[in-house]
Amino acid sequence: MTHCFADEPLPAADFHRHSVIRPRMYHGRYGRHLPDTRTQNGRHQQHIVVAMELGGAEAWLDLTLNQRLLAKGFFHRRQVNGSRVVERPNEEEINHCHYVGKVRGRPESWAALSTCHGLQGVVFDGRELHYVEKGGPHHLLYAHSDLREHNKTCGYRGAAAGPAHAHSSTDNRILRYKRSSDSATVIRGPYNANRDSKYLELVLVVDNREFKELGENQRRVVDHCKTIANIINGRARRDHFLAEWGHHPGQLPALSQEQAAARASQRQCAAADQGVVGKALKGPMCTFEYSGGVNNDHSPVVGLVATTIAHEMGHNFGMEHDTVDCQCPEERCIMAPSSSTVAPTHWSSCSLNYLLLAFTHGMDYCLKNKPEFLFDSPVCGNGFVEPGEQCDCGMSQHCENPCCDSATCMLHANASCATGECCDLSTCKPKGAGTECRSAQYECDLPEYCTGQSEFCPPDIFKMDTERCDEGRAFCYHGFCRTRTDQCKLLWGDTGKSSDDQCYDMNTKGSRHGNCGYNKFNESFAKCDRESVLCGMLHCKHLNERLEFGMESVAILSHSFINKKGSIIPCRTAIVDLGTNQIDPGMTPDGAKCGDGKMCVNQRCRDVLSLRKQSPHCDKDCHGNGWCNSLGHCHCKDGFAPPLCEYPGPGGSEDSGPASDPNAHQGVVVAMFIIFLGVVPMVALTAILLYYARYNLKLSWPKAPTTATGGVARKAGGFRGGVAICRPALISTTNAEGIVRSHTISHSIKSLVLVCLLVHCSASVSLARVVVLTPLTFPIWFG
């Protein structure tokens, strides 16, 4: 990296002109003037306001300390006399003095400024990109439109730059990896994150020449790198990316740092001789060997260098240089093949399509690990819900959440939630129980449902390992069901199939044609045991000569043939670079069947029953009404209740939430109780009493003599005992003259039952027929 610093920096030669400005800083809340952003405890103010001249007019910048910049595990590592020295600075030593924000009153603006050594960074006012640099006692302001024409170009030679393109595109099939759900962190967010959110982590390696150019001052080197990263982060925020600088232990996706530094130095020197300011390969963002780029610190204006790095990172994401067919909201976009006086602040339509293509084809699997902790947490306005906060939608100028007060990170009045997949932002209330918040993506996956109480979707749970799947051709393993043929289709397209079992015998050789694993560090191959040959390197046959997954330019392809009874059978293999933390998709997938009652795990053929004994299991096999999940709990089918799926209920599990709203069944349950414990016994009792009433009436009622005409002779005096009979029904009697008379029954059915039992009817009339309508509306006949 190639620029010089003097005690009194001269104006950068990259621009035709510059302005001398005297920015003023104020406290973000109290408005008092600040000579410096550092506080008494050595840290820096959370919120500041900067007044400065932009484009001939005074502008006010609202800035917030960029808490998203540094990831957990941030460290410095340097070489001292041939030995490595690793330093992990504390919060005071790290000098976190980097801010992001906007120009007040200009919604399309953005700013990324550092106050470590004066004011330094980039401000986009919505129309023009400005660069701010410390220049002696004052500050220098450059407008990008004043940039001189030069021949500095990108070293990538893609389709837009000429025929020398030698980089494979990433047109391939997807191998999706489920995110780890066992994190113990209590930090949640960003509020608008979902299962497709990506988190970019950036490692910057400085060579010895750059170290010397910066005066061999370690703190100055670190601050310089953080300022570059802060500008990249500020630009990423504008396009809804989350970029962090730092290193999660075990997550570095590229070279070891010693190798990276050495190769960077060599390539940087070659690039500088050719006038190239940056170079990167296309597409290998998550590979072990080529995830990175080389950038020349070609200007004392740090914003220009950050723009170059952002451009080269675009190539890592699979982007080509823009062509005339690409749509750009400005004259030029970030992926233009060379710089010009037009400041690129947007990604073109082509760049976004390339990015979508890369993500859709699985080249984002190393970008899904959400940061566990943040520097100087908790801080309101960093977009992550931390202890003591009810919500956090980011800085006020970026917050579009109607449920969250961005100034206090507390919920608005009458709001119950403001974040999470189970929060309804239109009502600021949790979604109803049983609302699906994460669908099952595969046969071995299980869906998750909102509980109705929490705004967050339950953790990602899947079926128990060793569960049969794909009609018995494979077994579930960590939520996936994959056979060897499935994996061949992934690598080679729809025509891919697992080749003859005889091909797999070559896995005992431990070579590029057959093995049980490839060590990228020492470039060695492991041999397979005879019983595990089907679990080693994948051998495919297909009609496609082109690798469909990963980057063919960085893959190791081989093919051989076997003669089986006169037939020539191909055995094609591939070693695909997916970094150090992912299993090579060119190997037999875990869960593939390798014999009767046996499955592949970590390139070994294992007995399914022994593996099942080691896994959590469910009691009584969930009564056949559900599946055992990866935590050993029953996930019930809809209509059965956890924990054992034995009784009626809403479905789901205690881990994944209810599959339907439990309250929706409450009315049915109450009605059933009323029917079976109230109505049915009452009807039965009524029927019994009516039966006995009829029997008693027949025994106790005297028969009256009949007349010659068939009528009933009526004794004088009528009815004895005055009976009060029931609700509307008719009793018909016939007098001695043969005249039919009707008597209205006017009391309830209970009166009828009591009358029939307690009253001795000795009248000389006979009860011909009584019709009684019960509460269930069917007639009971007697008489």
* Amino acid identity, position 626: G
**What DSSP designation does 188 have?**
B
CA atoms within 13 A on the CB side of 23: 29
Q: From the CB of residue 387, how many other CB atoms can be counted at a distance below 10 Å?
A: 8
Q: How far apart are the C-alpha atoms of 730 and 334, rounded to whole Å?
A: 95
Q: How far apart are the C-alpha atoms of 121 and 658, rounded to whole Å?
A: 51
- The tokens describing 643, both together, are 């924990």
Q: How far apart are the C-alpha atoms of 774 and 687, rounded to whole Å?
A: 9
Q: How far apart are the C-alpha atoms of 661 and 652, rounded to whole Å?
A: 10
Decide: 467 and 627 in contact? Cβ < 8 Å.
Answer: yes
Decide: 1 and 297 in contact? Cβ < 8 Å.
Answer: yes
Closest CA relative to residue 498, chosen from 527, 532, 537, 548: 537
Decide: 683 and 743 in contact? Cβ < 8 Å.
Answer: no
* Amino acid identity, position 60: W
Instruction: List the Cα angle 409/412/413 in 5-degree steps.
Output: 145
**Catalytic pick from 201, 213, 312, 421?**
312
Query: Is 98 labelled a binding residue?
Result: no
Based on the residue annotation, tell me whether 92 is a catalytic residue of this protein.
no
Pairing status of strand 242-245 against strand 199-202: parallel
* Amino acid identity, position 541: K
Q: How far apart are the C-alpha atoms of 664 and 423, rounded to whole Å?
A: 20
Decide: 19 and 25 in contact? Cβ < 8 Å.
Answer: no
N- to C-terminal Cα distance for the chain? 113
Query: Is 315 labelled a binding residue?
Result: yes
Distances (CA, A) of 769 to 159, 700, 730, 733: 101, 16, 8, 10
- The tokens describing 149, both together, are 């024409």
Decide: 252 and 333 in contact? Cβ < 8 Å.
Answer: no
Strand partners, 780: 772
Q: How far apart are the C-alpha atoms of 352 and 696, rounded to whole Å?
A: 92
- The tokens describing 497, both together, are 């199939």
Decide: 548 and 492 in contact? Cβ < 8 Å.
Answer: yes
Handedness of CA 401, 405, 410, 411 (dihedral sign): negative
Closest CA relative to residue 159, chosen from 275, 270, 324: 324
Query: Is 321 labelled a binding residue?
Result: yes
**What DSSP designation does 751 have?**
H
* Amino acid identity, position 201: E
Gyration radius from the chain CA atoms: 40
Q: Give the three-state DSSP class for 91.
A: coil
Residue positions forming the annotated binding site: 311, 315, 321
Catalytic sites, residue numbers: 312
Residue positions forming the annotated binding site for Zn(2+): 311, 315, 321
